[in-house]
RNA sequence: UCCUCGGUAGCUCAAUUGGCAGAGCACGCGGCUGUUAACCGUGUGGUUGCAGGUUCGAGUCCUGCCCGGGGAGCCA
């Protein structure tokens, strides 16, 4: 038997609903229900849409008693038949099977973890290799794909170049969290120098290297030649963060624009996020509706629509602090200019006070890294965060410090060795330009759009502290 | 990492004051004239997270550890 990648999948068969047409479907059995009439209903899914297709398997099929009656959830099948109008109320059309081939049995149905009933997300997380077969994870996967596609469409249509920044890097991108070390040294035979320290000169790269925590510094180099660029790749943080919003391996979209200031940065961020919302609403309507039905307490479509049609709020850090002070809310931690805003503060502003996505910009320079551009007041830097309800921060960005002397001064203040950043400093010596960029936590956007509570459920195989089982 | 709640059958959960470890679903078998969380009957299924302790007796109480959820911090 020959197999080819098929274009005509269940989604297409259901949407064209061509009564009488001869169809072939390949997929996995979601459930089998035996009718009183001596035939069976099969619910078949191939991951192309939320709905499965109903197949009528009559007892006149030659393998009805020997095979069809023994099909269980998870078996893979190939079915040929004719599309007919369904007398049932839950679907418009169904397939009257002429031939049912079982491709792969579930050899021990009791051991197959997925059942017809609803499973907890925590349980499904333990069987990440099978959870894509559920409606929920199918929907999330299609949404993730759509957002990914929309990302490229957005930047490509604006002339941004997609660049591939390195995954392995000697740079620790100051302030972006803990690093995973990459080494080819045999850990039971570590080379030491005369001081008893690990001798990285004997390692693969002849120096210490890490997995990237951000492509930003490299993107700056390319923006300083190609004007507008973006990266979209995996990012690694070894922070011991145990929250529903953090992954040790996540995906980040990082545009970087030459000749662009902080306001231009926020403008682009706003356009981009709205483009994502708009296109996923259109592209994955059924998936989003399905997920919203699953968790009715989490509204998705209404806020998405409202955010697309409204201006995101823009407020400076200093104004935000004032607002919080005047709010008379019973915060656990009091607001104080010069310190990081607490989650409760951000949530109040974003969810309660404004009720929509907000940019907070111009943060105190003492809580931000060396590369952010120092403002006129010499107290704040041109940084911005975009917060959205329910998720919190999805974007962190800034205008970069393009002035050589100011950059060097900042590095001295923060005790950063300029020799580690010689090439980054070079960019300020040779045709420096004002430039800006940001990083968008892609998985967090998927989380927001899908309504999933835990970020571990929007990436196929999540990596978190103490968890990389498969 | 800290705070907090939890871990009982393959899954979702119950078990009163410390007193015989249960139900639904799944799976097997039988039944049923179009089902769709199918239904009816019946059967299989347990080291109560792990290791100690208290007690005549521990799923239940105590100590330590492991794992999971929620919150916080760090961030995207």
Give domain limits for chain A: 10-117, 133-177+213-457
Q: Which residues contact A45 (CB under 8 A, 6 or more apart)?
A: A10, A27, A28, A30, A52, A53, A133, A135, A138
Whether the beta carbon of A189 falls within 7 A of nucleic chain B: the reply is no
For chain A, percent of residues with pLDDT exceeding 90: 73
Band the pLDDT of A437: cuts 50, 70, 90: very high
Q: Which residues contact A265 (CB under 8 A, 6 or more apart)?
A: A257, A384, A397, A398, A399, A436, A437, A438
Question: Is the per-residue pLDDT at A37 higher than 80?
Answer: no
Question: What value does the mean pLDDT take over residues A24-44?
Answer: 87
pLDDT at A176: 64
Whether the beta carbon of A56 falls within 7 A of nucleic chain B: the reply is yes
Bigger pLDDT: A316 vs A69:
A316
Q: What is the mean pLDDT of chain A?
A: 92
Question: What value does the mean pLDDT take over residues A367-375?
Answer: 95
| A463 contacts A248 by C-beta, under 8 angstroms | yes
Topology given in CATH for the domain delimited by A10-117: OB fold (Dihydrolipoamide Acetyltransferase, E2P) (2.40.50)
* Distance between start and end Cα atoms, chain A: 32
Whether the beta carbon of A52 falls within 7 A of nucleic chain B: the reply is no
Whether the beta carbon of A298 falls within 7 A of nucleic chain B: the reply is no
Whether the beta carbon of A293 falls within 7 A of nucleic chain B: the reply is no
- Please tell me what DSSP assigns to residue A324: H
pLDDT at A175: 61
Beta strand A161-162 pairing with A209-211: unpaired
pLDDT at A187: 87
pLDDT at A173: 60
Bigger pLDDT: A153 vs A108:
A153
Residue position matching structure tokens 């800006």: A436
Within A 130-149, residues with CB less than 7 Å from strand B:
none
pLDDT at A298: 87
> Is the ipTM here above 0.90?
no
Band the pLDDT of A157: cuts 50, 70, 90: very high
Question: What value does the mean pLDDT take over residues A317-341?
Answer: 93
Whether the beta carbon of A33 falls within 7 A of nucleic chain B: the reply is yes
- Please tell me what DSSP assigns to residue A374: B
Spanning CA of A66 to C1' of B23, the rounded length in angstroms is 33
Spanning CA of A113 to C1' of B39, the rounded length in angstroms is 24
Choice among A67-71, A113-117, A192-196, A330-334 with the minimum mean pLDDT? A113-117
Residue position matching structure tokens 């919190």: A392
For chain A, percent of residues with pLDDT exceeding 70: 99
Question: Is the per-residue pLDDT at A400 higher than 90?
Answer: yes
Question: What value does the mean pLDDT take over residues A280-297?
Answer: 91
Question: Is the per-residue pLDDT at A70 higher than 90?
Answer: no
Whether the beta carbon of A244 falls within 7 A of nucleic chain B: the reply is yes
Spanning CA of A51 to C1' of B34, the rounded length in angstroms is 19
Residue position matching structure tokens 């192309």: A48
The nucleotide closest to A443 (CA, C1' atoms): B76
Question: What value does the mean pLDDT take over residues A264-287?
Answer: 97
pLDDT at A382: 97
Question: What value does the mean pLDDT take over residues A364-392?
Answer: 95
Choice among A46-50, A291-295, A313-317, A389-393 with the minimum mean pLDDT? A291-295
Question: What value does the mean pLDDT take over residues A86-93?
Answer: 87
Question: What value does the mean pLDDT take over residues A200-218?
Answer: 93
pLDDT at A386: 97
Spanning CA of A54 to C1' of B40, the rounded length in angstroms is 24
pLDDT at A461: 93
**Half-sphere exposure in the Cβ direction for A290 (13 Å, CA):** 16
Spanning CA of A410 to C1' of B51, the rounded length in angstroms is 54
In A265-295, which positions are buried (b, 16+ CB within 10 angstroms) versus exposed (e)? bbebbbebbbbbbbbbbebbeebbebbbeee
pLDDT at A114: 84
Whether the beta carbon of A237 falls within 7 A of nucleic chain B: the reply is yes
**Nucleotides in chain B near protein beta carbons (<7 Å):** 1-2, 10-13, 25-29, 31-39, 66-76
Bigger pLDDT: A26 vs A173:
A26
What's A133-177+213-457's CATH class? Answer: alpha beta
Question: Is the per-residue pLDDT at A141 higher than 90?
Answer: yes
- Sheet order of strands, A228-236 included: A161-162, A228-236, A249-258, A435-441, A392-400, A380-388, A358-364, A313-316
Question: Is the per-residue pLDDT at A60 higher than 90?
Answer: no
pLDDT at A466: 86
Question: What value does the mean pLDDT take over residues A60-86?
Answer: 89
Report the candidate in A243, A248, A1 with the shortest Cα–Cα distance to residue A101.
A1
Backbone angles phi, psi at A394, to 5 degrees: -115, -20
Question: What value does the mean pLDDT take over residues A413-430?
Answer: 93
């Amino acid at each position: 038997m020959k197999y080819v990648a098929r274009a005509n999948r269940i989604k297409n068969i259901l949407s064209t609903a061509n009564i009488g047409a001869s169809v072939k479907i390949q997929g996995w059995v979601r459930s089998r229900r035996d009718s009183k009439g001596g035939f069976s209903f099969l619910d078949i899914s191939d991951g192309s849409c939320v709905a499965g297709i109903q197949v009528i398997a009559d007892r006149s099929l030659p393998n009805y008693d020997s095979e069809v009656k023994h099909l269980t959830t998870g078996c893979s099948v190939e079915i040929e038949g004719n599309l007919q109008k369904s007398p049932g109320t839950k679907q418009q059309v169904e397939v009257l099977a002429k031939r049912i081939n079982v491709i792969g049995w579930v050899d021990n149905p009791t051991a197959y973890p997925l059942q017809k009933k609803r499973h907890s997300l925590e349980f499904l997380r333990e069987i990440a290799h099978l959870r894509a077969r559920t409606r929920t994870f199918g929907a999330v996967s299609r949404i993730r794909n759509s957002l990914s596609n929309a990302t490229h469409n957005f930047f490509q249509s604006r002339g941004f170049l997609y660049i591939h920044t390195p995954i392995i890097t000697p740079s620790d991108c100051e302030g972006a969290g803990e690093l995973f070390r990459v080494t080819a040294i045999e850990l039971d035979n570590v080379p030491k120098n005369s001081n008893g320290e690990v001798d990285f000169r004997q390692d693969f790269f002849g120096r210490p290297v890490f997995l990237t925590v951000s492509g930003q510094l490299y993107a700056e180099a390319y923006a300083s030649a190609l004007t507008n660029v973006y990266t979209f790749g995996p990012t690694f943080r070894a922070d011991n963060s145990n929250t529903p919003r953090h992954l040790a391996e996540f995906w980040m979209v990082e545009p970087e624009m030459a000749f662009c200031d902080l306001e231009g940065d926020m403008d682009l961020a706003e356009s981009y996020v709205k483009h994502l919302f708009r296109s996923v609403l259109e592209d994955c309507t059924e998936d989003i509706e399905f997920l919203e039905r699953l968790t009715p307490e989490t509204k998705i479509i209404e806020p998405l629509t409202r955010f697309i049609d409204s201006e995101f709020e823009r407020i400076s850090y200093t104004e935000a602090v004032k607002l919080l002070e005047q709010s008379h809310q019973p915060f656990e931690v009091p607001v104080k200019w010069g310190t990081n805003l607490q989650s409760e503060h951000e949530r109040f502003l974003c969810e309660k006070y404004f009720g929509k996505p907000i940019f907070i910009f111009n943060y105190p320079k003492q809580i931000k890294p060396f590369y952010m551009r120092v403002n006129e007041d010499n107290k704040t830097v041109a940084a911005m965060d975009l917060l959205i309800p329910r998720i919190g921060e999805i974007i962190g960005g800034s205008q970069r410090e393009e002035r050589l002397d100011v950059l060097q001064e900042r590095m001295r203040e923060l005790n950063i060795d300029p020799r580690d950043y010689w090439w980054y400093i070079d960019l300020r010596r040779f045709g420096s330009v004002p430039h800006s960029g940001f990083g968008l936590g892609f998985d967090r956007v998927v989380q927001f759009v899908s309504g999933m509570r835990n970020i571990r459920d929007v990436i196929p195989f999540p990596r978190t502290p103490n968890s990389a089982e498969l």
